Amino acid sequence: MTPTLDWLAEPCPPIDQTAVQHALARQDQLTKPPGSLGRLEELAVRLAGLQRTATPEVDPVRVLLFAADHGVAAEGVSRYPQDVTKQMVRNIANGGAGVAVMAKAVGAGLDIIELGLATGSEVVEGVRSEPLGPGSGNIAREPAMTPEQLARALDIGRDAVDRAVDAGVRLIIGGELGIANTTAAAALACALLDRAASEVVGPGTGLDSAGVNRKAEVVARALELHASEPRDPLEMLRRLSGFEIAALTGAYLRAAQRGVAMLIDGFIVSSAALAAVRLQPAARDWMLFSHRSAEPGHRLMMEALEADPLLDLGFRLGEATGACAAVPLLRLACAVHRDMATFDEAGVSNAC
């Protein structure tokens, strides 16, 4: 049976303003000058509204990492061959990759979902295989996906969130893996933001200036090829992204529909977050932004999403590593909000 997209229109719940007011009132009574913990205070209040409680908690946290290959790799836009995607899926599952190490260090669960590899799927313990084909199409020459593949990718993202939320997860982190996926993410961002390739394309896995120029040319060709098609977000997603980016879009929409906070990673996942918000503006309320990517186009997406990321560490690895790095900040925000004594409890004067 061909999947439908009816679920995309399901509404997102509003932020609980009563919980926000209760959290603000508690912040005013804690033994510190008002606002002296800056964004930690803001995070605690924001999470209170999202979780509908005056004393929010971050845990459990789960990383949903989607992996897929991209046909546009044939245009020479990456330093690495496509078989690296499969090798890295295995490395993540075995605990050796950046996201695996960081997720373990911050106590986050890790759900790895493979959606289609150019070198073929293989059975790897700890990896859920749901292949949609041997990678997406070459966006410089054809659409990335068929309508059926797009619908299925969105459903895979939705289902991953449903599994996490049904298990009690309070914070969702989206991650990605796929050689050439910065090219697809740049193309999608260009289309959604109406920007030129030269404004968005960056070095990705470490291209030199000549490589960046070649990559920008490929993105420009893709934009020109698909320019006459409908400009709605779903069609842009189908034509210019990839299986894992579409799955992330579905995951972000579903997390918002289920009323669960998301911590957004860097450049590639932000293109999916932008697509999700274009499809359902209310999804933006449920997004927290972890870090500023070193990719130049990330700033443009953050401006469009009116986002102010928590960290600026020069990251451009992807995989959800930037979001994992920000998890301790959210835990600190909740701990201070919950455990700091009030003026009355500590016997400290609150006179102005």
Q: Are strands 261-264 and 171-177 parallel, antiparallel or unpaired?
A: parallel
* Count of beta carbons in the 10 Å neighbourhood of residue 294: 16
129 by DSSP, 3-state: which? Answer: strand
| Residue labelled with tokens 């709605």 | 232
Question: In this structure, which amino acid lies at residue 319?
Answer: E
For 173, the enclosing helix (H) or strand (E) is: strand 171-177
> How far does Cα 298 stand from its chain's mean position?
12
* Residue 303 structure tokens: 């401006």
Instruction: Give yes or no for a contact between 292 and 299, defined as CB atoms under 8 angstroms apart.
Output: yes
57 is catalytic: no
Helix axes 267-279, 243-257, angle to 10 degrees: 50
DSSP assignment string, 59-80: -SEEEEEEEE-BGGGGGS-SSS
266 by DSSP, 3-state: which? Answer: coil
Instruction: Give yes or no for a contact between 83 and 34, defined as CB atoms under 8 angstroms apart.
Output: no
Choosing from 235, 295, 319, 345, the catalytic residue is 319
Instruction: Give yes or no for a contact between 111 and 125, defined as CB atoms under 8 angstroms apart.
Output: no
| Residue labelled with tokens 């130049």 | 296
DSSP assignment string, 279-335: H-GGGGGGEEE-B--SSTHHHHHHHHTT---SB-S-----TTHHHHHHHHHHHHHHH
39 by DSSP, 3-state: which? Answer: helix
Q: What is d(CA 46, CA 339) in angstroms, rounded to the nearest whole number?
A: 17
Active site residues: 319
